[in-house]
Each structure stands twice: as structure tokens, then as C-alpha cells.
């Protein structure tokens, strides 16, 4: 069947589901056998309803056929079931904007005026895109994904495995996406098996709006690079909920909770983790900006460090049972101090952190608050440097040499005298005014 389309004023013809060799959703038209459903009419609000064609069957036909690139032509797509994604697919929208309107009523005033390639899930407890075991090399980008019309328990992208052959799924790019109104925007769920991997994932330039959990990850041995992501988090919600994760970098994240009323719970909540880096991130209106609360996937949380670097924390952080390197972070923003708490068995390095604006009333709050058995191994701020344990390098008397003034060693065979000498039982040797002193 050949279908002729008009796109931007130009006639285009479909051949075997393709236009000029590229698969297009417009080449897979709705048929009466695909069904319809009735939903609230968001253009008028109230109790008015509207009947929509069910796009799920035709979109699934396109996904099944489109080995390679599938273009979601600019339109509003309505589905009530999940779209299964297979390997070697590039799914890309063509919209001029990611505007999606209100999460409950995402129909625009004029159904013929589409600003985006937008997919609306009107089912309950359903994903829009579902990725299973053994899937490789998938890119999803330039789309608006919406959970609409009072639905609940929906996911924008669901990756799930571990019940079958336990084949890992590898190589994903999620870019320039907008998620609106989901229970979980992206949910990676290793069912019944900690060994299933959803690995080598890149998430960038995306916006999560009013999702109870923006990104939730429950998959060991996985690597994620996340950059340039905005999180608009509802009351008691989470931006990133890392139930189980391994190697992950969060960079250039902007998080906002509600301006008034109940705050969002945390921009980043971490339970089991491997190497985790949070950098160049700013957050406000959360109970916690970062809530680190657990162990490493490979035993104690101290095995794999968590790095906090160059962030602005306006609500504060709580760090538990982990090794944390905190560098160059700003706590608070032109306001009173915010909490910075290390507790449990946390081992903390705090280097160049700033806990208050210059001249503000919180000037006396100079560092992390240590609770339980947490220790500050090394800490610097405006006023001082604190070191939990300091061990000097060791030399023998004959190997002290002539370094610059201010050098100090432990001399294992020096005598404890004003001028260092050998054949002793050990002393601290200090280079002062061109000579060694051991007193």
C-alpha cells in the first residue's frame, strides 16, 4: 500500500512504511480494528469527553518494522497500552517544541496545532515505552511523554528484566525528552535478580515535570552518565531515587520542589551505590538535596566513594555510612546556614566547602556536623584545616638531605636533640633555617 502525505506543504509518499528510506509513523495509519477510547476533553475541562483513536497498535506495528530510525511525525498520539522497544532502534520526534500542556488535560485548544511529537498514556499502571532483556543500542529522543487524565502508576520508560534468560540490556541514549505526570519517569527494575544489567546509559537535556520519582534505578553493575537535566518535583517526591546503582555521574542537574506547602523529599536519594559523582548541581525546596542512606552494592558503603563537587545545596545534605569526598560546595544561598550532616560510619573528606555567604549570620557554622561514629578525615574551610590522622614520611638520618625550610620527616634513627644526629631511637626531623632540628 502506498500512502501520500503532505508534510510542510510538500507531498511525500510512503513505500513499505518509509519515506525516502526512513520509517515514519505517518506511514502506519490507524485502522478501525485498532479501536478507540473515550477520555476527558481537556480543551474544555469539566465533564466533557472526547473519543480518540487508539494509536498503540499502529505505533507497535511501526516499531516492529523499523529496524533503524523511526520518526514520530509531529502529532498527538494516544495509547492505553505499552509500546515494546526492540534492539537497534532510533526513535526520534520531529516537533518544534516539547510543550505538553497540563498533565491532567494535555489536549491543546486546537487538535490540529501540534507543537511536539507527543505520546499520551491514558491507561493505568502502564509504561509508554517498555524495554526488556537482551535489548541493545536504542536511542529515544525529541519526544514529549505524558501520563494523563487522572491515571496512576504509569511510567514514561520502563526497563525490566531478570525473570527470563537474564540477558543484560546495553547501550541507551535518552535525549531531549519531556516527562510529565508519571509515577516514575524512567524506571529500571531488575526483577528477582540483582545480576540483570541495564548498562551504558546516557540521559541528557531532559525535563521531568511533576513525576513522583523522576528516575528510579534498581539495577546493579550499571553505568549511567546524566547531564543537563531539570527536575520539577512534586510534594514528597524524588528527583533521582537510586535504590541500587553502581557507576553513575550526575552533572548539571537543576532541582526544584514546590514553592509552598509540603516540600519534595529529595533531589537525590541513594541507597546501595558504587562510584557516584554529583557535580555542578543546584537544588531548592527539598527536605534533603542529597540523602545518602545505605551501603555499597559490594559490601560497606565505604568501599566506593561518593563525590560531591561544586554544587549549591539550599536544603542541605545527610550522608550516612559511606566514604564521601565533598569539594567546593556552597551550602545555602544568601540565607541562614543549612544542614550538612555526616552520620553512621561515614568517613568524610571536606575540601573547600563553603557553609555560608560572607558576612551572613551563619558565619560561625564552619563545617559538617558529625553524628554517631562519623569522622572527618580531612577538612578545610575559611578558618582552618582539620586532619583526623597525620603520618609523616620516614627517612633515616643519612637520607635526610637538604630540602627547603619547613620540610618535616620522621627520622627512624635520629636522636632527640636540638641538632639532629644519627644512632638514635627515632625523632621528628624539621628543616629550619637550613639545618635539621630534632627537639
- Give CA–CA dist 213/27, Å, rounded: 35
Pairing of strands 4-7, 10-13: antiparallel
Q: Are 313 and 289 in contact (CB under 8 A)?
A: yes
Whose CA is closest to 435, among 400, 411, 390, 384?
400
Q: Which value, to the nearest 10 degrees, does the dihedral of the CA atoms of residues 330, 333, 336, 339 take?
A: -40
CA geometry: angle at 245 spanning 171 and 338, to 5°?
125
Q: Are 75 and 111 in contact (CB under 8 A)?
A: no
The pLDDT assigned to 385 comes to: 73
Note the pLDDT tens digit of each residue in 297-307: 455 567 788 99
- Give CA–CA dist 412/390, Å, rounded: 17
- Give CA–CA dist 173/85, Å, rounded: 13
| Residue 47: exposure state from Cβ atoms within 10 A (0-12, 13-18, ≥19) | exposed
CA geometry: angle at 188 spanning 184 and 194, to 5°?
140
The pLDDT assigned to 65 comes to: 96
- Give CA–CA dist 246/220, Å, rounded: 6
- In sign, the C-alpha dihedral spanning 72, 73, 75, 79 is negative
Pairing of strands 312-313, 282-284: parallel
Cβ neighbours of 2 (radius 10 Å): 8
**Domains (range + CATH), the chain:** 39-387 (2.160.20), 394-437 (no CATH)
SS3 call for 154: coil
Q: Which residues of the chain have pLDDT under 50?
A: 1, 6-10, 101-112, 297
Per DSSP, the residues of 159-211 read: EEESSSS---EEEEEEEEEEEES-SEEEEEEE-S-TT--EEEEEEEEEEEES-
**pTM (2 decimals)?**
0.87
The pLDDT assigned to 104 comes to: 45
Q: Are 39 and 122 in contact (CB under 8 A)?
A: yes
Element (H, E) at 56: helix 56-65
The pLDDT assigned to 394 comes to: 93
The pLDDT assigned to 237 comes to: 96
The pLDDT assigned to 48 comes to: 78
SS3 call for 397: helix
- Give CA–CA dist 369/342, Å, rounded: 6
The pLDDT assigned to 11 comes to: 54
The pLDDT assigned to 194 comes to: 59
Element (H, E) at 289: strand 286-293
- Give CA–CA dist 116/142, Å, rounded: 8
**How far is C-alpha 277 from the chain's CA centre?**
10
**How far is C-alpha 227 from the chain's CA centre?**
8
The pLDDT assigned to 110 comes to: 47
- Give CA–CA dist 194/297, Å, rounded: 10
> Residue 238 phi/psi, 5° resolution?
-130, 145
Amino acid at each position: 500500500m502506498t500512502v501520500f502525505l503532505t508534510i510542510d506543504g510538500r507531498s511525500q509518499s510512503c513505500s513499505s512504511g518509509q519515506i525516502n528510506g526512513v520509517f515514519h509513523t505517518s506511514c502506519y495509519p490507524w485502522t478501525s480494528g485498532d479501536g478507540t477510547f473515550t477520555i476527558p476533553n481537556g480543551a474544555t475541562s469539566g465533564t466533557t469527553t472526547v473519543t480518540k483513536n487508539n494509536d498503540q497498535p499502529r505505533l507497535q506495528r511501526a516499531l516492529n518494522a523499523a529496524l533503524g530510525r523511526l520518526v514520530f511525525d509531529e502529532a498527538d498520539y494516544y495509547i492505553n497500552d505499552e509500546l515494546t522497544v526492540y534492539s537497534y532502534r532510533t526513535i526520534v520526534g520531529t516537533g518544534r517544541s516539547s510543550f505538553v500542556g497540563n498533565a491532567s488535560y494535555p489536549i491543546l485548544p486546537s487538535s490540529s496545532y501540534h507543537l511536539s511529537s507527543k505520546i499520551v498514556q491514558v491507561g493505568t499502571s502502564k509504561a509508554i515505552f517498555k524495554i526488556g532483556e537482551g535489548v541493545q543500542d536504542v536511542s529515544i529522543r525529541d519526544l514529549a511523554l505524558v501520563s494523563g487524565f487522572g491515571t496512576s502508576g504509569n511510567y514514561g520508560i520502563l526497563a525490566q528484566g531478570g525473570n527470563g534468560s537474564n540477558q543484560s540490556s546495553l547501550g541507551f541514549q535518552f535525549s531531549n525528552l519531556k516527562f510529565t505526570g508519571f509515577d516514575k519517569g524512567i524506571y529500571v527494575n531488575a526483577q528477582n535478580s540483582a545480576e540483570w544489567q541495564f548498562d551504558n546509559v546516557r540521559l541528557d537535556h531532559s525535563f521531568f515535570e511533576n513525576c513522583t520519582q523522576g528516575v528510579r534505578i534498581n539495577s546493579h553493575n550499571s553505568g549511567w552518565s546524566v547531564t543537563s537535566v531539570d527536575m520539577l518535583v512534586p510534594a514528597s517526591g524524588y528527583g533521582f531515587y537510586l535504590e541500587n546503582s553502581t557507576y553513575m555521574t550526575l552533572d548539571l542537574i537543576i532541582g526544584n520542589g514546590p514553592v509552598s506547602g509540603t516540600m519534595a523529599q529529595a533531589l537525590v536519594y541513594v541507597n546501595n551505590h558504587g562510584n557516584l559523582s554529583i557535580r555542578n548541581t543546584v537544588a531548592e525546596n527539598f527536605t534533603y538535596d542529597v540523602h545518602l542512606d545505605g551501603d555499597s552494592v559490594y559490601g560497606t558503603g565505604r568501599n566506593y566513594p561518593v563525590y560531591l563537587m561544586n554544587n549549591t545545596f539550599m536544603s542541605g545534605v545527610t550522608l550516612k555510612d559511606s566514604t564521601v569526598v565533598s569539594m567546593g560546595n556552597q551550602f545555602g544561598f544568601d540565607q541562614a546556614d543549612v544542614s550538612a550532616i555526616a552520620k553512621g560510619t561515614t568517613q568524610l573528606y571536606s575540601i573547600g566547602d563553603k557553609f555560608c555567604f560572607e558576612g551572613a549570620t551563619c558565619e560561625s557554622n564552619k563545617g559538617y556536623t558529625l553524628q554517631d561514629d562519623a569522622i572527618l578525615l580531612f577538612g578545610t574551610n575559611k578558618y582552618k584545616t582539620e586532619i583526623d590522622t597525620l603520618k609523616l614520611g620516614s627517612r633515616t638520618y643519612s637520607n635526610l638531605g637538604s630540602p627547603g625550610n619547613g620540610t618535616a620527616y620522621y627520622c627512624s634513627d635520629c636522636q632527640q636533640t636540638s641538632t639532629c644526629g644519627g644512632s638514635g631511637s627515632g625523632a621528628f626531623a624539621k628543616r629550619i633555617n637550613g639545618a635539621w632540628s630534632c627537639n
